[in-house]
Chain A
Amino acid sequence: MPTFDSKKIAHAHREVHAHLPSDPALRVKALESLLVEKGLVASETIDNWIELYSERIGPMRGARLVARSWTDPAFRDRLLSDAGQVVKDYGYQGHATEHLKAVENTPGVHNLVVCTLCSCYPFSILGMSPIWYRSAAYRARAVKEPRVVLHEFGVTLPEDVGVRVWDSTAELRYLVIPERPKGTEGWDEDHLAAIVTRDSMIGTQRDLSVEPA
């Protein structure tokens, strides 16, 4: 059992730092071989987990929810009021989406999601987070200078748009619903889902292109 003792875990970290090789590839190899020998995991299971996330779980899931929210007003209301349940209805439940909250961009509001304290992310509907989302630069800057951050992503907001930054400090996770772009009238859900990007669902992109992402 864990000790749940801050001083003890800090000590354990100092031991790891002092005695393990610096090269992270060697460290991960050491941990994997030890856990395999202890019968706690098989290396093939690790391969399969990686395959699961590269093939089946990713931003295409979030994109489906966004696309349907553009065409089905009753669904949009449900998504905005209880995204956790919608995720279950789609069979997308899993890592970090139990308390999912969908937030909509409007002509006057742009939503931007960050986790300044760690790297909370709605994995089971967006897949693995991009490195920049987990980086110190994004975590430090998104709350303080969101407009400068957005500019680095190529986003310039119109004069009358306020930025609403969501810092994921509890177990709620956030999904941004971008605005439906002009020129997509009459498109079906599959066609719409193909233009919804991961970054638009985090909030580091505002205007979607009508070309597939």
Chain B
Amino acid sequence: MTQALVQIREFLSKKTVGIAGAGGLGSNCAVALARTGVGRLIIADFDALEPSNLNRQYYFRQQLGIPKVLALKENIRRIDPFIQVDAFTVKLNPDTITQLYKDCDVLIEAFDKAEMKQMLIETALSHWPDRPLIAASGLAGWGKTEDITIKRFGNFVLAGDDISETHEWNPPLGPRVSILAGMQANLALEFLLNGFQFKKS
């Protein structure tokens, strides 16, 4: 590994990211952050893996029926066994959110349903007004890559095209969901690597 990567990983190894939801956004974002070397991930989701999830979520066919967070923990272990993954099979509500995610440096909203997104954002912004929060909204369908933007409200950042809602005839597809998950991970790095500098010898 190059010195640059070693130094980035060393810095990130002391960081914790919370991810609320382990579907298309959460699973892809978690893997991106694990590959970059974030030391600890706290992930919660109550769903088990279904066949329809495999079009965009970072899982494998053999894992069908398994709780997503356990499957994700295993997938990350196979990429890097030194990343700590705290996996919780729970339905998130304001109480469980404030308990599980109290120690995070950055929190990522990775739910599917708009009402869950709203609940998490309200809870997080009222409990931790200064902690970076990264959410996504508007990612269904394909193409329209240039429509994807981010909006900043202080340390709360919202990524997406703001309009492409999922419904029966506008499903979420792998590429666009992965772009958003990657943007969320990249925004998280922006906060996590704040103050980081390479030591060049």
- Are A and B physically bound partners? no
Q: Interface of B with A (CB < 8 Å)? A: none
